[in-house]
């Protein structure tokens, strides 16, 4: 299980970008978080070999598109996590599904549904998705 944001486990910094020019200043050890509906960013990642992108999706179609575009982490809320994970498993996604959680005890939700991993909301809260 992937665990991002737990105080005991080191993780890469997430940086939100809204324009491609922001990407030029991002450290190599960071994961770039972007709004899935930003077509400029989607075009950039589809045309370039960028491997550390993450985005939040709200439905199965967006999850499939994100995987096809090579997004490394697909962030989901609990209400769709199980169904998105089933799709990811069935279609052998390269992307990993991460359930957004508030606290450690919510990890049990991801464990129960065999979600690829979790990301604590505090990692992305300041990024205003």
pLDDT for res 129: 45
Number of domains in the chain: 1
Digits of tens for pLDDT over the chain (129 positions)?
999 999 999 998 888 877 776 554 556 678 888 877 777 777 777 777 666 789 999 999 999 999 998 899 999 999 999 999 999 999 999 999 999 999 999 999 999 999 999 999 999 876 554
Domain enclosing residue 68, as ranges: 2-125
* Sequential DSSP letters for 9-43: S--PPEEE-SSHHHHTT--TT-EEEE-TT-HHHHH
CATH number for the domain spanning 44: value is 3.20.20.70
Sequence-distant (6+) residues with CB within 8 A of 68 are none
């Amino acid at each position: 299980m992937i665990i991002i944001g737990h105080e005991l486990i080191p993780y890469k910094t997430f940086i939100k970008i809204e324009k491609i020019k922001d990407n030029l200043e991002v450290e190599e050890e960071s994961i770039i978080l972007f709004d899935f509906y930003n077509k400029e960013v989607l075009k950039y990642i589809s045309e370039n070999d960028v491997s550390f992108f993450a985005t939040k999706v709200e439905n199965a179609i967006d999850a499939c598109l994100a995987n096809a575009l090579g997004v490394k982490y697909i962030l989901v809320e609990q209400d769709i996590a199980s169904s998105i994970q089933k799709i990811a498993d069935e279609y052998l996604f390269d992307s990993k599904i991460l359930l957004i959680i508030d606290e450690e005890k919510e990890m049990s939700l991801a464990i129960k549904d065999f979600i690829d991993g979790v990301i604590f909301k505090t990692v992305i809260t300041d990024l205003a998705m």
